[in-house]
Amino acid sequence: MNILKAVNLRKIYGQGETEVRALDGINLEVEKGEFVAIVGTSGSGKSTLLHIIGGLDNPTSGQVIVDGQNLSHMTDEELTIFRRRNIGFVFQQYNLVPMLNVWENIVLPVKLDGKKIEKGYVNEIINTLGIRTKLENLPSALSGGQQQRVAIARALAAKPAILLADEPTGNLDSKTSQDVLGLLKVTSKRFHQTIVMITHNEEIAQMADRILQIEDGKIVSDSGLV
């Protein structure tokens, strides 16, 4: 099943001589449960692509379809609600709420949606990510790797259709990166979570089932496991 589809995406900044084509005709399909890495150097357009897929930015032309829903047909308010329910984000700088403790951070998106918290499911995520002992702590008392694990748990708790990760280990040392990514990979398999991750690091990209290489706003290679 197709969970994400991008059709002929273009994003053009500026006009005339200063025109920059950040995305230049991207076509992409992601299956449910797939772990896809998008690699490219800085300026290749990978962040723009992720932002557009996540509905954080609008394309100049083209369409994004997430779980059967065409994002370009939605108003800003609809987009906000759709994102909260169906798209999970993990950013390089964690973006945890500093005043809330770990547990409160994790269940925040579910609470915002006015839904009952599935304690069993959330606890399973917490155990898999090894943050059980930190639930009462504030984010400031955690290491970078722990904070990122909390961010991953928060993204997973809402059972999003797709999880988008933007350089998730950009601020972590190589050993912690390996741990965090390993857990991300293991959890994605366990909960059949679809993940799209962008990174400039090819070694990190190798953790994915499928690697897309992007250069000058175009996908130049697409290699996946058979």
Binding site for another protein (CB under 8 A): 116, 130, 145, 175-176, 178-179, 182-183, 185-186, 189-190, 203, 206-207, 210-211, 221, 223-226
Confirm if 223 and 30 have CB atoms less than 8 A apart: no
Size (the chain), residues: 226
Q: Which of 150, 154, 157, 165 is nearest to 195 (CA)?
A: 165
Annotate 112-164 with DSSP letters as a single string: HTTPPP-HHHHHHHHHHTT-GGGTTS-GGGS-HHHHHHHHHHHHHHT--SEEE
What is the nearest approach in angstroms of another protein to the Cβ of residue 64? 26
Distance of CA 180 to the CA centre of its chain: 14
Which lies closer to another protein via its Cβ, residue 141 or residue 186? 186
What is the nearest approach in angstroms of another protein to the Cβ of residue 213? 10
What is the nearest approach in angstroms of another protein to the Cβ of residue 30? 16
Which lies closer to another protein via its Cβ, residue 52 or residue 126? 126
Pairing state between β 210-215 and 35-39:
parallel
What is the nearest approach in angstroms of another protein to the Cβ of residue 126? 14
Which lies closer to another protein via its Cβ, residue 51 or residue 149? 149
Which lies closer to another protein via its Cβ, residue 54 or residue 168? 168
What is the nearest approach in angstroms of another protein to the Cβ of residue 223? 5
Q: CA dihedral in degrees (12, 199, 188, 67; nearest 10)?
A: 0
Which lies closer to another protein via its Cβ, residue 58 or residue 132? 132
What is the nearest approach in angstroms of another protein to the Cβ of residue 77? 21
Q: Which two tokens stand for residue 162?
A: 């797709």
Which lies closer to another protein via its Cβ, residue 133 or residue 140? 133
Q: Which two tokens stand for residue 36?
A: 């896809």
Q: Which two tokens stand for residue 35?
A: 């772990």
Tell me if residue 62 falls in helix, strand or coil: strand
What is the nearest approach in angstroms of another protein to the Cβ of residue 16? 38
Which lies closer to another protein via its Cβ, residue 71 or residue 125? 125
Measure Cα distances from 40 to 20, 30, 31, 200 in Å.
17, 18, 21, 5
Q: Which two tokens stand for residue 138?
A: 């504030």
